[in-house]
């Protein structure tokens, strides 16, 4: 594996051929896209996913590659299963997570067990059974909390404002610690809002955008909370997958944390307008911010992703309009697999 990828697509394509790769959360939104990309690069792919119904796993996400991956229906909280699974793999993309911010407030211990304790036990399993395994962890911009300055780079203070953010932060730091102290080549990607085909649309547990997509496909109005002035950035899932691949294929990533981002900073109000325009139907209703959401809203956020651009040569390629078009087209065709 080379020290710097610098957009070398050929290197990236070759880096995973024949590699034994494990993906936790592999039946979820991003994990399944990653699995598809790895199968195309001839990797030997094993997925682990609990398929807990309230979470984002969906077997249809694996449509077309189900015969080319191994799927282990197991929970990352099960130390025995994970100990066995990490043993035989060279690369571990660690994406399994409880993703709902509101659920983390109403049921904080489940979030703690999955996003914090299980992360530590998986790393302990790697340390004992397979300390040379490369690990890429799916972290989140939520750990910054409310931005003190914009754009947010990796040196921005971490001050999460919900239980999920605190547990994801701990999960991320365990990964970095195990790299620095034990030399296990881990790194973390701090994802911003990631969207695309296969994203959670049945409810707002992952993001409001998923619900908007579903309602637009149904021809229903979409709701914007408050004035919708909050600025955000978005990453299309193919670009996020590209970042995961680069992070695993590049020696320069060990012990690092990287922001992902998007080039189009947009207010939620303008995003709603764009989504309605792209869908060709639907209307926007402004409604008061639900108090439980307002209490954990991070306000404006957009990332500075210079660190990953300079270290791994990553940058986003799919524009928001294009990404929304592809996402809406996917759900128009496959909605029966995602909501009744």
Which has the closest alpha carbon to 40: 193, 231, 241?
241
* Cβ atoms of residues 240 and 30 within 8 Å: yes
* Cβ atoms of residues 307 and 154 within 8 Å: yes
Among 119, 121, 206, 253, binds ligand NAD (CB under 6 A): 206
Selected range binding ligand NAD among 128-136, 151-159, 189-197, 242-250, rule: CB under 6 A: 189-197
320 binds ligand NAD (CB under 6 A): no
Residue 45, token pair as written in the block: 């792919």
What is the CA 15 to chain-centroid distance, rounded? 22
Query: What is the x/- site pattern for ligand NAD, positions 126-165, by CB under 6 A?
Result: ------------x-x-------------------------
260 binds ligand NAD (CB under 6 A): no
Selected range binding ligand NAD among 89-97, 120-128, 177-185, 323-331, rule: CB under 6 A: 89-97
330 binds ligand NAD (CB under 6 A): no
Among 5, 22, 23, 30, binds ligand NAD (CB under 6 A): 30
194 binds ligand NAD (CB under 6 A): yes
**DSSP result, 46-103:** EEEE---TTSS--GGGGTTTTTTEEEEE--TT-HHHHHHHHHT-SEEEE------HHH
CA distance 324 to 303: 20
For residues 49 and 162, which CB has a smaller minimum distance to ligand NAD in the complex? 49
Task: Enumerate residues 107-126 that contact ligand NAD by CB under 6 A.
Answer: 114
C-alpha distance across the termini of the chain, in Å: 45
Q: What is the total residue count of the chain?
A: 340
Residues that bind ligand NAD (CB under 6 A): 24-25, 27-31, 48-52, 55-57, 75-77, 95-99, 114, 138, 140, 191, 193-194, 200, 206-207
């Amino acid at each position: 594996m080379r020290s710097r990828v610098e957009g070398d697509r050929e290197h990236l394509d070759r880096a995973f051929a024949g590699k034994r790769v494990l993906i936790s959360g592999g039946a979820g939104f991003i994990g399944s896209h990653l699995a598809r990309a790895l199968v195309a690069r001839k990797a030997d792919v094993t997925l682990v996913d609990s398929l807990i119904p309230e979470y984002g796993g969906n077997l249809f996400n694996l449509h077309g590659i189900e015969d080319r991956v191994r799927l282990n229906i197991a929970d990352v909280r099960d130390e025995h299963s994970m100990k066995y699974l990490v043993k035989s793999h060279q690369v571990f993309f660690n994406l399994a997570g409880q993703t709902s911010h509101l659920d983390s407030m109403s049921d904080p211990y489940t979030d703690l067990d999955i996003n914090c304790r299980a992360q530590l036990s998986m790393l302990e399993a790697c340390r004992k059974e397979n300390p040379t395994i490369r690990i890429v962890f799916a972290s989140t911009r939520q750990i910054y909390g409310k931005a003190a300055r914009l754009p947010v780079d990796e040196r921005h203070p971490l001050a999460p404002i919900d239980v999920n953010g605190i547990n994801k932060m701990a999960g991320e730091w365990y990964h970095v610690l195990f790299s620095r102290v034990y030399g296990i080549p881990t790194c973390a990607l701090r994802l911003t809002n990631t969207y695309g085909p296969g994203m959670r649309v049945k409810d707002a547990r992952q993001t409001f955008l998923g619900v908007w997509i579903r309602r637009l496909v149904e021809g229903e109005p979409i709701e914007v909370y408050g004035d919708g002035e909050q600025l955000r950035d978005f990453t299309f899932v193919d670009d996020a997958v590209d970042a995961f691949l680069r992070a695993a294929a590049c020696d320069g990533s060990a012990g690092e944390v990287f922001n992902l981002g998007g080039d189009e900073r947009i207010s939620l109000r303008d995003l709603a307008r764009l989504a309605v325009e792209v869908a060709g139907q639907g209307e926007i209703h402004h409604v008061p911010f639900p108090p439980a959401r307002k209490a954990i809203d991070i306000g404006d956020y957009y990332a500075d992703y210079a660190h990953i651009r300079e270290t791994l040569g990553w940058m986003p390629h799919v524009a928001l309009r294009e990404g929304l078009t592809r996402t809406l087209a996917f759900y128009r065709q496959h909605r029966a697999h995602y909501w009744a």
